[in-house]
Structure 1
Amino acid sequence: MLEIDKLCYTSRLRYVNAGEKCFFSLASVILCIVSRSIPAALLLLLASTYLTVQRGGIFLGRWLKYLTLPLFFLLLSTGAILINISQVPLDAFALPVGSLYLTGSREGVFQAVQLILTALACVSALFFLSFNTPMTDILAVLESCRLPRLLIELMMLTYRFIFLLLENASSMLLSQNARLGNKDLRTSLKSRGLLASMLFIRAMRQAGSLYDAMESRCYDGQIRVLREHQPPRRGEILCIAAFELLLLLLALLPSAAPAGWIM
Structure 2
Amino acid sequence: MEIDYIAHTNNLRDVKSTYKLIISISLMIFALIVNLPIVSLFITFLIGISLLTIAKIPFKFYIKFMSIPFGFALITCIFMAFFFGSGTVIFNTGILGIVVREDALSLAITTFCRTLACFSALGFLSLTTPIALILNDLSKIKIPKIFIEIALLMYTSIFVFLDQIKIMTNAQKTRMGYNGFKNSYRSLGLLISNLFFRSLDKGEKLQYALDSRGYNGELPKYDP
Higher helix residue share: 2
**Is 2:92–2:99's contact at 8 Å kept on the other side of the alignment?**
yes
User: How far is 1:218 from its partner?
Assistant: 2.7
Q: For residue 70 of structure 1, what is the amino acid of its counterpart?
A: P
For residue 177 of structure 1, the aligned residue among 161, 173, 177 is 173
Question: What are the superposed Cα offsets for residues 154-209 of structure 1, whole Å, 9 maximum, x if unpaired?
Answer: 22112111101110111001101111122233333332222222222222222222
Q: Indicate how the Cα distance of structure 1 residues 40 and 164 shifts in structure 2: closer, same or farther if over 3 A, else same.
A: same
Q: Distance in 2 between matches of 1:109 and 1:154?
A: 38
1:69 and 1:159 mapped to 2: Cα distance?
A: 19
Look up the SS of the partner of 2:43 in the other structure.
Answer: helix
Q: Deviations over 1:59-85 (max 9, x none)?
A: 23322222223223322222234347x
Q: Percent identity?
A: 27
Partner residue in 2 for 1:159: 155
| Equivalent in 198, 201, 213 of residue 202 of structure 1 | 198
Q: How does 1:40-79 map to 2 (within 5 A)?
A: 40-79=39-78
Superposition deviation, residue 3 in structure 1: 1.1
Alignment of 1:1-263 (within 5 A): 2-83=1-82, 90-91=89-90, 104-228=100-224
- In angstroms, what is the RMSD of aligned CA positions? 2.5
2:44, 2:117 within 8 Å by CA — same for their partners in 1? yes
| Runs of 5+ unmatched residues, structure 2 | none
Q: Amino acid of the residue matched to residue 127 of structure 1?
A: G
For residue 78 of structure 1, give the secondary structure of its aligned residue in structure 2: helix
**What TM-score does the superposition give when structure 1 sets the normalisation length?**
0.73
Question: 1:123 deviation in Å?
Answer: 1.1
Q: Rg: which structure is higher?
A: 1
Partners of 2:31 and 2:39 within 8 A in 1: yes
Q: Which amino acid aligns with 1:76?
A: I
- Find the residue that maps to 1:13 and give its secondary structure: coil
User: Cα distance, 1:49 vs. partner?
Assistant: 1.1
> Displacement, 1:23?
1.7
Letter in 2 for 1:160: T
Change in 2 beyond 3 A, CA 1:212/1:37:
same
CA change 1:81–1:174 in 2 (3 A) is same
CA separation in 1, counterparts of 2:119 and 2:50? Answer: 14
Shift of residue 133, structure 1, vs aligned partner = 1.1
Paired residues of 2:136 and 2:222 also in contact (CA < 8 A): no
Amino acid at match of 1:32: A
Q: Which residue type is aligned with residue 42 of structure 1?
A: L
- Within 2, Cα distance between the matches of 1:81 and 1:150? 36
Unaligned runs of 5+ in 1: 229-263
Which structure's relative contact order is higher, taking Cα pairs within 8 Å and 6+ residues apart? 1
